[in-house]
């Protein structure tokens, strides 16, 4: 999918430099040296990402990006700023006006990576807004490509979850949400690099913090795409633990949404029985043994029994 990037800077030299940086990545590039003209382009064109300098004569980049958000909420907004404006840039991120900021003089590789991440996020949001399940599944499968060993993971998790949902007599609407949430439970990993996802050794504390953020990042995507609350619950809560030791919120017991407790079980079983960068797969028997040890701590005890009976005939 070809996407459009809008570059905004009142200095022609800076525009040329940015233009050259993205000339070879297969995206449509628009440029503007005037904030008001940039706003006009946002109204006329479908802009995936806008990159704006902060210090401009007509209005600041922060002001421009705040207006862009009101016109085109899905457009990802990146600010080029100086150290002097760093606190304002961080505040803009916290308020949602800016997706990322880059401090001048900018690092070419870092800026390219941020823009490519932003384009991927934009495309994902647009796909998630579509109603057809085929497009949503394709979006989930695209994310799985970042980690080849997880190919088919979202579909297998969905099948286990659907079996449990049927046993619990979920309504057709609830079943539909359960399936979508299962497909998309790891969608927040779109913001994590392949290097971290495919690491064979022990993660650093920073890398582990990135991994622990993926439920929130995924839930933010799902919220922006307007997905139902039960789908968002699965994405946000599938790493909560029944004893309250999970993340991101440390919810406990039945405070964890039912659909999330279901997907947690399906997710862990599939993870245990497939090869991962850090270990080889376990056979079904060993996986069940491991999961029994986590009954009541990680897993809802009753739901684990249901899973073993309905999905594995144990």
pLDDT digits over 21-35, tens only? 887 777 899 999 999
Domain spanning 4-125, CATH class: alpha beta
Distances in Å between the Cα of 150 and the Cα atoms of 52, 222, 264 are: 37, 21, 16
Catalytic residues: 189
**CA-based nearest residue to 153, from 125, 127, 185:** 185
Please give the pLDDT value at position 25.
75
**Torsion sign across C-alpha atoms 187, 192, 198, 200:** negative
Residue 69 has a CB neighbour count (10 Å cut-off) of: 20
Please give the pLDDT value at position 83.
66
Residue 151 has a CB neighbour count (10 Å cut-off) of: 12
pLDDT digits over 49-89, tens only? 999 998 899 898 989 999 999 999 999 999 888 766 767 76
C-alpha to C-alpha distance for 127 and 234, rounded to whole angstroms: 19
| Domain range list for the chain | 4-125, 132-312
pTM here?
0.86
Domain spanning 132-312, CATH class: mainly alpha
Is the N-terminal amide bond of 16 cis, ω within 30° of 0? no
Q: What percent of the chain has pLDDT over 90?
A: 60
Please give the pLDDT value at position 175.
97
Over the range 264-274, which residues count as b (16 or more CB within 10 Å of their CB) and which as e? bbbbbbbebeb
Contacts of 146 (CB under 8 A, 6+ apart): 189, 190, 192, 194, 197, 198
pLDDT, averaged per 10 consecutive residues of the chain (314 residues), comes to: 87 90 84 95 95 91 92 93 71 73 84 88 90 88 78 93 97 96 94 83 87 93 94 97 97 98 97 87 95 97 97 84
Please give the pLDDT value at position 220.
92
Q: Coil, helix or strand for 54?
A: coil
Distances in Å between the Cα of 206 and the Cα atoms of 114, 203, 228 are: 18, 8, 31
Residue identified by tokens 């079983």 is 269
Please give the pLDDT value at position 1.
53
């Amino acid at each position: 999918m070809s996407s459009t990037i809008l570059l905004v800077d009142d200095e022609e030299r800076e525009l040329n430099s940015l233009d050259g940086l993205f000339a070879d990545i297969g995206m449509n590039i628009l440029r503007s040296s005037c904030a008001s003209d940039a706003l006009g382009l946002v109204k006329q064109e479908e802009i995936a990402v806008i990159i704006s300098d902060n210090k401009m004569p007509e209005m600041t980049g922060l002001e421009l990006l705040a207006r862009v958000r009101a016109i085109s909420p899905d457009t990802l907004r990146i600010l080029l700023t100086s150290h002097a404006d760093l606190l304002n840039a961080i505040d803009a991120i916290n308020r949602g006006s800016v997706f990322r900021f880059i401090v001048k003089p900018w690092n070419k590789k870092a800026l390219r990576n941020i823009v490519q991440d932003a384009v991927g996020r934009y495309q994902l949001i647009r796909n998630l807004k579509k109603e057809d399940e085929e497009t949503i599944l394709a979006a989930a499968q695209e994310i799985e490509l970042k980690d080849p060993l997880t190919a088919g993971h979202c579909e297998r998790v969905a099948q286990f979850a659907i079996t449990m949902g049927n046993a619990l007599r979920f309504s057709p609407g609830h079943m539909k949400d359960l399936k979508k949430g299962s497909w998309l439970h790891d969608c927040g990993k779109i913001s994590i690099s392949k290097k971290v996802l495919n690491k064979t050794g022990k993660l650093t504390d920073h890398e582990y913090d990135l991994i622990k953020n993926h439920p929130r990042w995924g839930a933010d995507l799902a919220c922006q795409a307007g997905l139902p609350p039960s789908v968002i619950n699965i994405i946000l809560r599938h790493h909560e633990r029944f004893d309250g030791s999970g993340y991101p919120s440390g919810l406990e017991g039945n405070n964890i949404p039912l659909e999330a407790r279901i997907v947690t079980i399906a997710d862990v079983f599939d993870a245990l029985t497939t090869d991962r960068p850090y270990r080889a797969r376990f056979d079904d028997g060993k996986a069940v043994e491991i999961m029994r040890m986590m009954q009541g701590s990680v897993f809802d005890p009753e739901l684990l029994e249901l899973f073993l009976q309905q999905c594995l005939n144990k």
